[in-house]
């Protein structure tokens, strides 16, 4: 009897050990395939260099939709389709220009760009004095008298001591998003916002902004200034508070246009009704080519499905890739996807987003029940050979967060965050800033987590 | 009685918690100071841009010694000194050039650079056929008959599926280091080595090589070819095995010259005889400015001492920074430092090297007793807020490994390894490839480990 029990233990242990070996061997194959025989870098080269910046509603965004559909169709998935969605269309126009005038005729040009959604200046530009503030409290304290007829210059820098640069971004982005609305209510003629960038350099960083409920005629132009430009303006204001700032831009809001989410899927072999989603957003800002934001997430998500095919792993659950449209200025693609999914009663057991740049993967931020989080954290040792260590509770991403239910798993890939805001929404977010291996490791890390969720069926 | 015991437990627990709070607060202050008020990036800007490449024995290496001494003296340490050491002097010369001749008069230039220590070609260059091999086994199998009078082309690429790129480097570098010696013994006229680079690009990567015991007259010239050049040569050889390769370089070995390790220290307050060393190497190769290899390690090591001063932490043990000379082609500085330390009976309880690039820190590779490794691994939670997770058993570094005793601790900073070999020993290892925050986080991570070793007294 004892002997039997002993043998049983041996057999069970050995079966368990074999199962674990299979799991770690599959993960090894995923990483090896991504690094040796990957497609993500080549795809991104095309999207970035042959198509380029893909602002919602633009011709390039439409080209990107067609490209995404073609590439997914070339993978011979079970199904590829476009999901129509109306998106905002804002155009940058043909000029954006600013200078600081310290005394009549003495001007210094500074690098600026219009914020996405901003109205234009009058055709001849706007020239006015400047009040510098660090936050809305300072602005309100100044009041109408000090602000009316002037530019408001929001100059609160990102906090350098935050190791998580996304937290530093969150701590500043209200200036960009709501600064114009707040300043307009006090009678300002325009706003200049310090770029969301931890470096001192000459790139202005655009991004979304909103006028809230402000009537059309009360809206004022809003532009970002490079961090070097912000430092210069601030120090010149200290010397001469009466200097004037000149801004000229002819950006424009147009009527909404039809665009698409691009979707493809591999049907699950045993639980086809359970959907595991991977995704990034296909639109980008227009200054660079959107390689990190979010070309990287797009090609990594596509690569997850290709890696599964390449290693011959047929998922038990349906694996769906969604290339979301219009994350940057409206999230209309994510809203439409979620609405339709809920209408159809689709069950998303897992959704993983990559929208934090194509840098070396550090791990995941996970939004789920404490029990499922704990279960996922048990997989940490499987990721250690690949230098992936972070499995923390936290937000998933702007495009998948609406899919949350009481018990599903949402997650965001978390790459190393130090360089992201060097490029974010700026003209230097281009393909040359992508490292092939870092991009590929991100795709393999995503595929490995999807595989584990499918294999163990959380 | 019970009440007293309870109170005692409360008091002890609260004292322990306070102590832990102090430790994590000190580490937080170290990181904050490095990120908000750091010197490492400014120092590296000077070393890279104002001095530049610092090949052992060169004028620039001497300038770097003087700069290092001046900067350490400006920190008001307890002691700063130069340690004399004789180092090899090899000069690249005034030209290095190569082409592939597919038929008489049809040539294609390919990017090459001489390997450090190589002899020159004859003044008119060397023109010969090429045999391509992947390793020494293939070379030996070919034998003298196939090799004599030809170039040997070593073309084994770094293994892309190794996530630890240093392992991929180790798996290839024998071609560069010993290829010329092995090929010369079979009568080859020169060697061409595929650059140690995981990317396909146009930069040849230099590095050290040795002829072993080969007499002077039997030594043959050795050059690295860019990875794109290697791919081109290989595919052209497949089409035409009789093509010839032309190489011309006038590099030269000179007599050894006097140089210095640059050393500074803060005396320990209670155990001055126990030395904690931090260091990197001041010399570099000559094609770029040596920003990652190893300007980064130099300024990070200097920054450790400055951070301690800045936060007002006086170490109990002596904290010494050593800027080693001649790591790249001889390690004479490290050998001399170790010899002198042993002569004087100095006790190095801890030595930490940074020589893996100025990228985001992932952790440490640690060479010590199992007990001490375990003790260090208990500190992992203290590093998690800074995204530092790796505390693994492994080698320390070329400059500190000789200091090993039965029970001291040697360690190497381990930054993210994906991009290192994009720049290593090549013309693009320049200051613009350094990210300020990544560099600073590395310095803070080093300082935090030194602080913990000092505080807990391992």
As a whole number, mean pLDDT of residues A281-292 equals: 98
CA geometry: angle B162, B164, B165, nearest 5 deg: 80
As a whole number, mean pLDDT of residues A268-294 equals: 98
CA geometry: angle A411, A417, A421, nearest 5 deg: 115
Distances (CA, A) of A440 to A307, B243, B416, B418: 11, 37, 15, 11
- Chain B interface, mutation test: which of A31, A418, A422, A428, most B Cβ atoms within 10 Å? A418
CA distance A295 to A41: 10
> Do the Cβ atoms of B437 and A160 come within 8 Å?
yes
CA distance A135 to B312: 33
CA distance A20 to B244: 53
CA distance A5 to B443: 56
As a whole number, mean pLDDT of residues B22-26 equals: 97
Q: Name which of A362, A387, A419 is nearest B163 (Cβ-Cβ).
A: A387
Distances (CA, A) of B156 to B100, B133, B222, B227, B232: 19, 8, 16, 10, 14
**Per-residue pLDDT tens over the stretch A87-106:** 999 999 999 999 999 988 89
What confidence score (pLDDT) does residue B200 get?
Answer: 97
Q: Name which of A160, A199, A441 is nearest B36 (Cβ-Cβ).
A: A160
Contact B13, B413 (CB under 8 A): no
> Do the Cβ atoms of A437 and B198 come within 8 Å?
yes
Q: Evaluate if residue A5 carries a pLDDT over 90.
A: no
Q: Is B112 helix (H, G, I), strand (E, B) or coil?
A: strand
Nearest Cα neighbor of A429 from A260, A279, A207, A230 is A207
Residue A42, chain B, CB below 8 Å: the answer is no
Q: Evaluate if residue A7 carries a pLDDT over 70.
A: no
Residue A31, chain B, CB below 8 Å: the answer is yes
CA distance B48 to B434: 11
Nearest Cα neighbor of B31 from B415, B442, B425, B336 is B442
pTM of the model: 0.95
**Residue that has been written with the tokens 């057999």 in this structure:** A11
Q: Which residues of A touch B417 (CB under 8 A)?
A: 387
- DSSP H or E stretch at residue B79: strand B79-91
Residue B200, chain A, CB below 8 Å: the answer is no
Residue A389, chain B, CB below 8 Å: the answer is yes
As a whole number, mean pLDDT of residues A243-257 equals: 98
> Do the Cβ atoms of A160 and B416 come within 8 Å?
no
What pLDDT band is residue A316 in, cutting at 50, 70 and 90?
Answer: very high
Residues comprising chain B, all counted: 458
Contact B208, B178 (CB under 8 A): no
Domains of chain B are: 27-90+255-456 (3.40.630.10), 93-250 (3.50.30.30)
* A327 in catalytic set: yes
As a whole number, mean pLDDT of residues B294-301 equals: 98
As a whole number, mean pLDDT of residues B135-162 equals: 98
Nearest Cα neighbor of A111 from A38, A13, A204 is A204
As a whole number, mean pLDDT of residues B250-278 equals: 98
Identify the active-site residue in B327, B328, B336, B353: B327
pLDDT above 90 covers what percent of chain A? 95
CA distance B46 to B76: 20
What confidence score (pLDDT) does residue B21 get?
Answer: 87
What confidence score (pLDDT) does residue A3 get?
Answer: 60
> Do the Cβ atoms of A387 and B199 come within 8 Å?
no
As a whole number, mean pLDDT of residues B238-257 equals: 98
- Chain A interface, mutation test: which of B25, B29, B161, B162, most A Cβ atoms within 10 Å? B161
**Residue that has been written with the tokens 């640059």 in this structure:** B262
What is the helix, strand, coil percentage profile of chain B, to 5?
Answer: 40, 25, 35
Q: How far is B53 from chain A (nearest CA, A)?
A: 24
CA distance B254 to A22: 57
CA distance B3 to B349: 44
CA distance B186 to B144: 5
What confidence score (pLDDT) does residue A20 get?
Answer: 75
What confidence score (pLDDT) does residue B343 get?
Answer: 98
What does the block give as tokens for B293? 């290899």
Nearest Cα neighbor of A435 from B157, B360, B443 is B360
Q: Evaluate if residue A176 carries a pLDDT over 80.
A: yes
CA distance A381 to A401: 27
**Per-residue pLDDT tens over the stretch A442-458:** 999 999 999 999 999 98
What confidence score (pLDDT) does residue A406 get?
Answer: 97
What confidence score (pLDDT) does residue B16 get?
Answer: 65
What confidence score (pLDDT) does residue A19 get?
Answer: 75
CA distance B388 to B382: 9
Residue B160, chain A, CB below 8 Å: the answer is yes
Residue A362, chain B, CB below 8 Å: the answer is yes
What confidence score (pLDDT) does residue A9 get?
Answer: 61
Contact B53, B286 (CB under 8 A): yes
Q: Which residues of A touch B199 (CB under 8 A)?
A: 436
Residue B311, chain A, CB below 8 Å: the answer is no
CA distance B229 to B109: 9
Q: Show the 3-state SS of A369-437.
A: CHHHHHHHHCCHHHHHHHCCCEEEECCCCCCCHHHCCCCCEEEEEEECCCCHHHHCCCCCCCHHHCCHH
Nearest Cα neighbor of B208 from B327, B329, B324 is B329
As a whole number, mean pLDDT of residues A298-312 equals: 98
What pLDDT band is residue A11 in, cutting at 50, 70 and 90?
Answer: low
Q: Please return the burial class of A270, using the count of CB atoms within 10 Å of its CB with bins 0-12, 13-18 and 19+.
A: exposed
Contact A282, A229 (CB under 8 A): no
Which DSSP string do the residues of B155-187 spell out, in sequence order? -PPP-TT-SSHHHHHHTTHHHHHHHHHHHHHTT
What confidence score (pLDDT) does residue B10 get?
Answer: 61
The 10 Å Cβ neighbour count of residue B311 is 16
What confidence score (pLDDT) does residue A8 get?
Answer: 62
Identify the active-site residue in A327, A328, A336, A353: A327
Largest CA distance in chain B: 102
**Per-residue pLDDT tens over the stretch A34-50:** 999 999 999 999 999 99
Report how many Cβ contacts below 8 Å link chain A to chain B: 67
Nearest Cα neighbor of A227 from A431, A421, A429, A432 is A421
Q: Evaluate if residue A17 carries a pLDDT over 90.
A: no
Nearest Cα neighbor of A312 from A21, A22, A29 is A29
Q: Residue B159: phi, psi to the nearest 5?
A: -80, 115
What confidence score (pLDDT) does residue B135 get?
Answer: 98
Q: Evaluate if residue B311 carries a pLDDT over 90.
A: yes
Distances (CA, A) of B331 to A359, B255, B281, B378: 34, 16, 9, 34
Q: Show the 3-state SS of chain A.
A: CHHHHHHHHHHHHHHHHHHHHHHHHHHHHHHHHHHHCCCHHHHHHHHHHHHCCCCCCCHHHHHHHHHHHHHHHHCCCCEEEEEEEEEEEEECCCCEEEEEEEECCEEEECCEEECECCCCCCCCCEEEEEEEECCHHHHHHHHHHHHCCCEEEECCCCCCCCCCHHHHHHCCHHHHHHHHHHHHHCCCCEEEEECCCCCCCCCCCCCECCCCCCCHHHCCCEEEECHHHHHHHHHHHHHCCCCEEEEEECCEEEEEEEEEEEEEEECCCCEEEEEEEEEEECCCCCCCCCHHHHHHHHHHHHHHHHHHHHHCCCCCEEEEEEEECCCCCCCHHHHHHHHHHHHHCCEEEEEEECCCCCCCEEEEEEECCHHHHHHHHCCHHHHHHHCCCEEEECCCCCCCHHHCCCCCEEEEEEECCCCHHHHCCCCCCCHHHCCHHHHHHHHHHHHHHHHHHHHHCC
> Do the Cβ atoms of A437 and B31 come within 8 Å?
no
In this structure, are strands A317-324 and A252-266 parallel, antiparallel, or unpaired?
Answer: antiparallel
Q: Is B333 helix (H, G, I), strand (E, B) or coil?
A: helix
Contact B188, B222 (CB under 8 A): no
CA distance A265 to A321: 6
Q: Evaluate if residue B8 carries a pLDDT over 70.
A: no
Q: How far is CA B213 from the centre of its chain?
A: 26
pLDDT above 70 covers what percent of chain A? 96
> Do the Cβ atoms of A416 and B416 come within 8 Å?
yes
What pLDDT band is residue B18 in, cutting at 50, 70 and 90?
Answer: confident
| DSSP secondary structure letter of residue B37 | S
**Per-residue pLDDT tens over the stretch B41-94:** 999 999 999 999 999 999 999 999 999 999 999 999 999 999 999 999 999 999
Residue B26, chain A, CB below 8 Å: the answer is no
What pLDDT band is residue B148 in, cutting at 50, 70 and 90?
Answer: very high
CA distance B334 to B322: 9
Q: Find the range with the poorest average confidence among A20-24, A63-67, B4-8, B302-306.
A: B4-8
Q: What integer best gives the mean pLDDT of chain A?
A: 96
Residues comprising chain A, all counted: 458
CA distance A206 to A105: 29
Instruction: Describe the crossing of helices B296-311 and B2-36 by its angle, rounded to 10 degrees.
Output: 130
As a whole number, mean pLDDT of residues B250-279 equals: 98
CA distance B351 to B345: 16
Nearest Cα neighbor of B364 from B338, B339, B387, B390 is B390
- Reading phi first (left if > 0) and then psi (alpha if -120 to 50, else beta), residue B331 is in left
Contact A129, A107 (CB under 8 A): no
């Amino acid at each position: 009897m004892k002997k039997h029990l002993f043998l049983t233990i041996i057999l069970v242990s050995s079966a368990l050990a074999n199962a674990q070996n299979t799991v770690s061997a599959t993960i090894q194959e995923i990483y090896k395939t991504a690094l040796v025989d990957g497609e993500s870098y080549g795809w991104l080269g095309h999207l970035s260099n042959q198509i380029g910046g893909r602002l919602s509603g633009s011709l390039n965004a439409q080209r990107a939709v067609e490209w995404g559909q073609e590439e997914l169709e070339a993978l011979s998935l079970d199904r590829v389709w476009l999901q129509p969605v109306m998106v905002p269309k804002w155009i940058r126009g043909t000029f954006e220009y600013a200078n600081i005038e310290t005394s009549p005729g003495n001007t210094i040009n500074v690098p600026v760009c219009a914020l996405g959604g901003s109205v234009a200046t009058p055709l001849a530009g706007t020239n006015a004095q400047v009040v510098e503030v660090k936050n809305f409290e300072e602005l309100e304290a100044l009041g109408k008298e000090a602000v009316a007829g002037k530019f408001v210059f929001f100059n609160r820098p990102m906090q350098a001591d935050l190791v998580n640069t996304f937290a530093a971004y969150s701590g500043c982005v209200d200036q960009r998003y709501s600064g114009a609305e707040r300043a307009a209510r006090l009678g300002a003629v325009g706003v200049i916002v310090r770029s969301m960038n931890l470096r001192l350099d000459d790139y202005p960083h655009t991004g979304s902004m909103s006028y809230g409920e402000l009537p059309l005629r009360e809206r004022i132009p809003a532009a970002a200034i490079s961090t070097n430009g912000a430092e210069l303006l601030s120090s010149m204001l200290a010397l001469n508070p009466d200097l004037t700032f000149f801004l000229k831009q002819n950006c424009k809001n147009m009527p909404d246009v039809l665009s698409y989410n691009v979707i493809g899927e591999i049907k699950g072999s045993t639980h086809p009704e359970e959907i595991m989603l991977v995704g990034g957003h296909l639109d980008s800002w227009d200054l660079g080519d959107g390689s990190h934001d979010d070309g990287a997430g797009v090609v990594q998500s596509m690569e997850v499905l290709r890696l599964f095919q390449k290693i011959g792993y047929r998922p038990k659950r349906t694996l769906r890739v969604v290339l979301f449209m219009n994350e940057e200025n409206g999230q209309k693609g994510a809203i439409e996807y979620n609405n339709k999914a809920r209408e159809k009663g689709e069950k998303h057991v897992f959704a993983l987003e990559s929208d934090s740049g194509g840098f070396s993967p550090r791990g995941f931020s996970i939004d789920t029940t404490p029990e499922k989080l704990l279960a996922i954290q048990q997989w940490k040792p499987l990721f250690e050979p690949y230098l992936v260590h972070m499995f923390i509770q936290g937000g998933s991403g702007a495009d998948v967060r609406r899919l949350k239910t009481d018990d599903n798993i949402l997650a965001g890939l978390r790459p190393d965050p130090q360089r992201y805001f060097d490029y974010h929404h700026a003209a230097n977010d281009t393909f040359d800033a992508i490292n092939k291996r870092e991009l590929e490791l991100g795709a393999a890390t995503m595929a490995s987590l999807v595989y584990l969720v499918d294999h163990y069926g959380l």
